[in-house]
Chain A
């Protein structure tokens, strides 16, 4: 249908100029807002906010230790510093088996299933044995140990671990006289640990301690933190904790422990022996070739702390390294 409009009527049909101009302004504003939103959304896509909660089962049989607070402090079983928040501990992890992005490990590991986990302890021992996690928990008391954790990347935490003193396990398998070192191995299963499909490190991850270090009372096989079972990103179901050494010594998701007579290979030393040593003791005086180890960023704190010799465990462990040049044996 066509209508014949007079000139005046036609004039009325035309959008009035101010309205027309307003529409243009509106469209422009929309474009600007859209651009800003898209750029902010892109940022958020790459930098998601992660609020983590630890919802693993609680460890109800935490051993009540007969030591006084002073005795625990003296032995290094307890450190009188603010504990790093649960959320930070479980959201900032170096666990290359899942991701090389420390902030992304928790998410990448969230479906990691540890049901039926077994740890084989063998090598130069009289009683080699395969342990389930309940078996391991029965070997000795599961204690709470509040340790400093110093990463080789110059950041640190204070973590309330729950675990078994490694010496109890080694005693249980009865080491032979020739055993001088303990070698540890992480699970190798690229289907469950997607990071193992990449070649950022040689898999599986391996670590090692001298037998005297392994027998030291500070050395812990942790099965939990904050009174709950370890979440996957922190090395479930069982991991090593050596608080006077850099964090990478704390091998996670252990499936094999072998007592040996020679120094075993360790992952980071194998990757770059000039940057990472076998002992890897925390030492503010020996810088990493690419960064200083004199100070550290304590997670959750502003500013930097001075890094302590042996991460503050000098009185407990210094005797292990008497006569060693620590700038050579780093």
Chain B
């Protein structure tokens, strides 16, 4: 059950729990004497709690190295938005009795309402751009920039709460006390990221790529996706200028840098194609139901997508043309480096003997 999709569903369930309870209490008229006010209070607090959970994900990930936790962030952030939206709907429908004019009048004349309204308005574009399609459309840089609004919205949410209470500000202050280190952590990290960025030498991308064994960094385009088995796909990449600008040794891998849900992830996959093929490189990848990247590759990646690639790398390769024979043993999808070797050897009409032993599942 070590399955990210499953745990994400648990997170989604955990977020529904309070809503069901609130509905139950409202239905049974047990929301206390002032039910409307209580519902407003509860939904407001829930919104803040979920926003806090979503903001604490990245610091947790950085501090603990628990990278799969990022898979839960979107659901948490959306719950933060959903409970804020419900909070607003209850206010308009039951406190303002559905009167738009009275709602507007109150919002413009009460500062704490205005602050709360701005916080909600800020979250709206974040919710709209939370889909994978929108992340791709915006691109990682702009998406990240836009989603910094989450911090502003949460701060305003806490301020809204602080301004509302009559005199007991302990609870809003407690929220502020938790928020401060989160913001502090993020700003310090951002500062160091910027410094590291500044100290890096300029990217080599502008120079004409040299076809060599040296490491190359740049973007390749997905040219074709071929389904091999129900859970294995081959992805063919080309370079927009024609030839692949690096030469790998059969068995070597390339690393992919992807933006998944606004999060930068890196993975290395063995190149399955032969280096003799100069027009493309291919990766053959099995979909791992727990794997963030392999699932992304299988479920989201489209022909025409650009992917940042660094290649080649790796010390496991075979291109020894002098040998008399080679024994290649593989199991399952682990065949990929051997595919590259076999293809390369046959492309060169190798003289030696190839012993190829492959084990695979029959069911």
Contact residues of A with B, CB < 8 Å? 24, 27-28, 31-32, 35-40, 42-44, 46-47, 49-51, 84, 87-89, 91-92, 96, 100, 102-103, 153, 155, 198, 200-201, 271-272, 287, 290-292, 297, 299-300, 302-304
Contacts and interface: CB of A to CB of B under 8 A. Distances in A.
Interface in B15-45: 15-18, 20-22, 25, 30, 32-34, 36-38, 42, 45
8 contacts: A36-B16, A39-B16, A40-B20, A43-B18, A100-B166, A155-B34, A290-B112, A292-B106
Contacts of A300: 33
Contacts of A291: 106, 110
Contacts of A47: 21, 25, 38, 42
Contacts of A84: 33
B1 A31 contact: yes
Contacts of A39: 13-18
Interface in B108-167: 109-112, 163-164, 166-167
Contacts, number: 100
B354 interface: no
Interface string B44-78: 01000000000000000000000000000000000
Interface in B88-103: 94-95, 97
A298 B223 CA distance: 67
Contact of B13 (A32, A87, A153, A304): A32
Given A201-B167, A271-B167, A291-B110, A32 B34 contact: no
B191 interface: no
B106 A31 contact: no
A297 B37 contact: yes
A98 to B, nearest CB: 12
A38 B14 contact: yes
Contact of A91 (B13, B15, B21, B33): B33
Contact of A155 (B6, B22, B25, B37): B37
A92 B112 contact: no
A272 B25 CA distance: 35
Contacts of A46: 45
Contacts of B45: 46
Contacts of A36: 13-14, 16-17, 20
Given A91-B33, A103-B32, 18 more contacts: A28-B1, A28-B6, A31-B1, A35-B13, A36-B13, A37-B17, A40-B18, A44-B21, A84-B33, A92-B33, A272-B167, A290-B112, A292-B109, A297-B34, A299-B33, A300-B33, A302-B94, A304-B97
Given A153-B166, A200-B167, A292-B106, A92 B34 contact: yes
Chain B contact patch, size range? 35 or more
Interface string B273-311: 000000000000000000000000000000000000000
B9 interface: yes
A29 to B, nearest CB: 11
B111 to A, nearest CB: 7
A91 B32 contact: yes
B241 interface: no
Nearest to B42: A47
Nearest to B164: A290
Looking at B30, B163, B168, which has the most chain A CB atoms within 10 Å of its CB? B168
B97 to A, nearest CB: 6
A102 B34 contact: yes
Contacts of B112: 290
Q: Which 5 A-B pairs have the closest CB atoms?
A: A39-B17, A92-B33, A100-B168, A88-B33, A39-B14
A43 B168 contact: no
B104 interface: no
B15 A103 contact: no
Given A28-B6, A35-B10, A43 B17 contact: yes
B18 A27 contact: no
Nearest to B165: A100
Contact of B1 (A27, A44, A96, A103): A27
B69 to A, nearest CB: 16
A200 B30 contact: no
Residue of A43, A88, A155, A200 with most chain B CB atoms under a 10 A cut-off: A43
A63 to B, nearest CB: 29
A103 B17 contact: no
A290 B110 contact: yes
A266 B45 CA distance: 32
Contacts of A51: 30
A101 B109 CA distance: 26
Given A35-B10, A200-B167, A290-B164, A42 B17 contact: yes
Contacts of B6: 28, 31
A193 to B, nearest CB: 15
A43 B21 contact: yes
B97 A303 contact: yes
Contacts of A42: 17-18
Nearest to B105: A292
A302 to B, nearest CB: 8
Contacts of B36: 297
